Chain A
Amino acid sequence: MSPSKLDLCPSVKNMLLLDSDGRRVAVKYFSDEWATNSAMEAFENLVFSKTQRTNARNEAEIILLENHVVVYKFVQDLHFFVTGGDEENELILSSVLQAFFESVNLLLRGNVDKKEALENLDLILLCIDEIIDGGIVLETDPNVIAGKVASNSVDSGAPLSEQTLSQALATAREHLARSLLK
Chain B
Amino acid sequence: MAQPLVKKDDDRDDEADYSPFMGIEKGAVLQEARVFNDPQLDARRCSQVITKLLYLLNQGETFTKVEATEVFFSVTKLFQSRDLGLRRMVYLIIKELSPSADEVIIVTSSLMKDMNSKTDMYRANAIRVLCRITDGTLLTQIERYLKQAIVDKNPVVASAALVSGIHLLQTNPEIVKRWSNEVQEAVQSRAALVQFHALALLHQIRQNDRLAVSKLVTSLTRGSVRSPLAQCLLIRYTSQVIRESGNTTQSGDRPFYDFLESCLRHKSEMVIFEAAKAITDLNGVTSRELTPAITVLQLFLSSSKPVLRFAAVRTLNKVAMTHPMAVTNCNIDMESLISDQNRSIATLAITTLLKTGNESSVDRLMKQITNFMSDIADEFKIVVVEAIRSLCLKFPLKYRSLMNFLSNILREEGGFDYKKAIVDSIVILIRDIPDAKESGLLHLCEFIEDCEFTYLSTQILHFLGIEGPKTVDPSKYIRYIYNRVHLENATVRASAVSTLAKFGASVDGLKPRIFVLLRRCLFDSDDEVRDRATLYLNTLGGDIEIDNDVSDFLFGSLDIPLVNLETSLKKYEPSDKAFDINLVPREVKSQPLAEKKAPGKKPTGLGAPPSGPPSTVDSYERQLLSIPEFANFGKLFKSSAPVELTEAETEYAVIVIVDASEAEEFSQVISKPLRSLPYDSPGQTFVAFEKPEGLPTTGKFSNILKFIVKEVDPTSGEAEDDGVEDEYQLEDLEVVAADYILKVGVSNFRNAWESMDPDSERVDEYGLGQRGEGLSEAVNTVINILGMQPCEGTEAVPPNSRSHTCLLSGVFIGGVKVLVRLSFGIDSTKDVAMKLAVRSDDVNVSDAIHEIVASG
* Docked CA distance A95–B62 (Å): 32
Q: Mark A44-82, 1 if CB is under 8 A from B, else 0.
A: 000000100011000111111000000100000100000
Count chain A CB atoms within 10 A of each CB in B4, B233, B306 and give the residue with the most: B306
Task: Judge if A160 is at the interface, Cβ distance under 8 Å.
Answer: no
Using A63-B344, A125-B54 as known contacts, say yes or no to A136 and B88 having CB atoms under 8 A apart: no
| Contact of A121 with B88 in the complex, beta carbons under 8 Å | no
CB distance from A133 to the nearest CB of B (A): 5
Identify B163's interface contact among A89, A122, A134, CB under 8 A.
Answer: A134
Task: Judge if B674 is at the interface, Cβ distance under 8 Å.
Answer: no
* Docked CA distance A149–B125 (Å): 12
* Docked CA distance A77–B754 (Å): 79
Size of interface on A: residues with Cβ below 8 Å to B:
61
Task: Judge if A180 is at the interface, Cβ distance under 8 Å.
Answer: yes
Identify B19's interface contact among A5, A55, A115, CB under 8 A.
Answer: A115
Using A91-B269, A133-B163 as known contacts, say yes or no to A122 and B51 having CB atoms under 8 A apart: yes
CB distance from B197 to the nearest CB of A (A): 7
* Docked CA distance A114–B22 (Å): 13
| Contact of B16 with A115 in the complex, beta carbons under 8 Å | yes
List the A side residues contacting B95 at CB < 8 Å: 129
Identify A89's interface contact among B5, B47, B203, B277, CB under 8 A.
Answer: B277
| Contact of A62 with B310 in the complex, beta carbons under 8 Å | yes
| Contact of A115 with B55 in the complex, beta carbons under 8 Å | no
Q: Mark B17-36, 1 if CB is under 8 A from A, else 0.
A: 01111000000000000000
List the B side residues contacting A92 at CB < 8 Å: 229, 232, 270, 274
* Docked CA distance A27–B58 (Å): 6
Task: Judge if B685 is at the interface, Cβ distance under 8 Å.
Answer: no
| Contact of B237 with A8 in the complex, beta carbons under 8 Å | yes
| Contact of B121 with A180 in the complex, beta carbons under 8 Å | no
Q: Mark A8-30, 1 if CB is under 8 A from B, else 0.
A: 11100000000110001011000
Task: Judge if A32 is at the interface, Cβ distance under 8 Å.
Answer: no
Task: Judge if B291 is at the interface, Cβ distance under 8 Å.
Answer: no
* Docked CA distance A140–B229 (Å): 10
| Contact of B88 with A152 in the complex, beta carbons under 8 Å | yes
Task: Judge if B240 is at the interface, Cβ distance under 8 Å.
Answer: yes
| Contact of B342 with A61 in the complex, beta carbons under 8 Å | yes
List the A side residues contacting B307 at CB < 8 Å: 59-62, 71, 90-91, 93-94
* Docked CA distance A148–B193 (Å): 15
CB distance from A88 to the nearest CB of B (A): 10
| Contact of A138 with B193 in the complex, beta carbons under 8 Å | yes
Identify A40's interface contact among B60, B236, B277, CB under 8 A.
Answer: B60
Task: Judge if B92 is at the interface, Cβ distance under 8 Å.
Answer: yes
CB distance from B117 to the nearest CB of A (A): 13
Q: Mark B215-249, 1 if CB is under 8 A from A, else 0.
A: 00000000000000100110011001000000000
* Docked CA distance A153–B277 (Å): 43
Task: Judge if A172 is at the interface, Cβ distance under 8 Å.
Answer: no
Using A114-B16, A180-B8 as known contacts, say yes or no to A89 and B232 having CB atoms under 8 A apart: yes
Using A92-B270, A155-B85 as known contacts, say yes or no to A8 and B233 having CB atoms under 8 A apart: yes
Task: Judge if A35 is at the interface, Cβ distance under 8 Å.
Answer: no
Using A95-B270, A180-B4 as known contacts, say yes or no to A9 and B16 having CB atoms under 8 A apart: no
Q: Mark A142-182, 1 if CB is under 8 A from B, else 0.
A: 00000011011101101000000010000000000100110
Residue of A nearest to B203 (CB): A8
* Docked CA distance A26–B51 (Å): 11
Using A41-B60, A61-B306, A118-B21 as known contacts, say yes or no to A54 and B85 having CB atoms under 8 A apart: no
List the A side residues contacting B204 at CB < 8 Å: 5, 9
Identify A59's interface contact among B83, B169, B269, B305, CB under 8 A.
Answer: B305
* Docked CA distance A119–B159 (Å): 30
List the A side residues contacting B86 at CB < 8 Å: 156
CB distance from B127 to the nearest CB of A (A): 10
* Docked CA distance A55–B156 (Å): 36
* Docked CA distance A2–B170 (Å): 8
List the B side residues contacting A64 at CB < 8 Å: 314, 344
| Contact of A24 with B306 in the complex, beta carbons under 8 Å | no
Task: Judge if B308 is at the interface, Cβ distance under 8 Å.
Answer: yes
| Contact of B58 with A156 in the complex, beta carbons under 8 Å | no
Residue of A nearest to B240 (CB): A8
List the A side residues contacting B160 at CB < 8 Å: 133
CB distance from B790 to the nearest CB of A (A): 38
Residue of A nearest to B273 (CB): A91
CB distance from B47 to the nearest CB of A (A): 6
List the A side residues contacting B285 at CB < 8 Å: none
CB distance from B347 to the nearest CB of A (A): 10
Q: Mark A92-129, 1 if CB is under 8 A from B, else 0.
A: 11110000000000000000011100110110011001
| Contact of B43 with A156 in the complex, beta carbons under 8 Å | yes
Task: Judge if B464 is at the interface, Cβ distance under 8 Å.
Answer: no
| Contact of B344 with A62 in the complex, beta carbons under 8 Å | yes
Using A91-B307, A114-B16 as known contacts, say yes or no to A153 and B85 having CB atoms under 8 A apart: yes
Task: Judge if B311 is at the interface, Cβ distance under 8 Å.
Answer: yes
CB distance from B13 to the nearest CB of A (A): 10
| Contact of B170 with A89 in the complex, beta carbons under 8 Å | no
| Contact of B344 with A89 in the complex, beta carbons under 8 Å | no
| Contact of B200 with A152 in the complex, beta carbons under 8 Å | no
Residue of A nearest to B169 (CB): A5
Identify A121's interface contact among B54, B87, B156, B229, CB under 8 A.
Answer: B54
| Contact of A90 with B273 in the complex, beta carbons under 8 Å | yes
Identify A156's interface contact among B84, B164, B236, B273, CB under 8 A.
Answer: B84
Task: Judge if B167 is at the interface, Cβ distance under 8 Å.
Answer: yes
| Contact of B342 with A121 in the complex, beta carbons under 8 Å | no
| Contact of B270 with A60 in the complex, beta carbons under 8 Å | no
| Contact of B92 with A136 in the complex, beta carbons under 8 Å | no
CB distance from A156 to the nearest CB of B (A): 4
List the B side residues contacting A155 at CB < 8 Å: 84-85
CB distance from A113 to the nearest CB of B (A): 8
Task: Judge if B341 is at the interface, Cβ distance under 8 Å.
Answer: yes
| Contact of B306 with A148 in the complex, beta carbons under 8 Å | no
Residue of B nearest to A129 (CB): B92
List the B side residues contacting A20 at CB < 8 Å: 16
Residue of B nearest to A134 (CB): B167
Q: Mark B262-292, 1 if CB is under 8 A from A, else 0.
A: 0000000110011001000000000000000
List the B side residues contacting A94 at CB < 8 Å: 305, 307
List the B side residues contacting A8 at CB < 8 Å: 203, 233, 236-237, 240
| Contact of A9 with B233 in the complex, beta carbons under 8 Å | yes
| Contact of B342 with A152 in the complex, beta carbons under 8 Å | no
* Docked CA distance A38–B132 (Å): 25
* Docked CA distance A136–B305 (Å): 24
* Docked CA distance A119–B21 (Å): 9
Residue of A nearest to B54 (CB): A125
Task: Judge if B681 is at the interface, Cβ distance under 8 Å.
Answer: no
Q: Which 5 A-B pairs have the closest CB atoms?
A: A37-B60, A90-B311, A152-B85, A91-B270, A155-B84
17 interchain pairs (CB within 8 A)? A5-B169, A8-B203, A8-B233, A59-B305, A91-B269, A91-B274, A91-B311, A92-B270, A115-B18, A122-B89, A133-B160, A136-B200, A138-B163, A155-B85, A156-B43, A156-B83, A156-B86
Q: A5-B207, A90-B314 are in contact. List 14 more A-B contacts (CB 8 A).
A: A1-B167, A9-B166, A62-B310, A71-B307, A89-B270, A89-B273, A115-B15, A121-B51, A122-B85, A129-B92, A137-B229, A138-B193, A152-B87, A153-B85
Question: Footprint of B on A, CB under 8 Å?
Answer: 1-2, 5, 8-10, 19-20, 24, 26-27, 37, 40-41, 50, 54-55, 59-64, 71, 77, 89-95, 113-115, 118-119, 121-122, 125-126, 129, 133-134, 136-140, 148-149, 151-153, 155-156, 158, 166, 177, 180-181
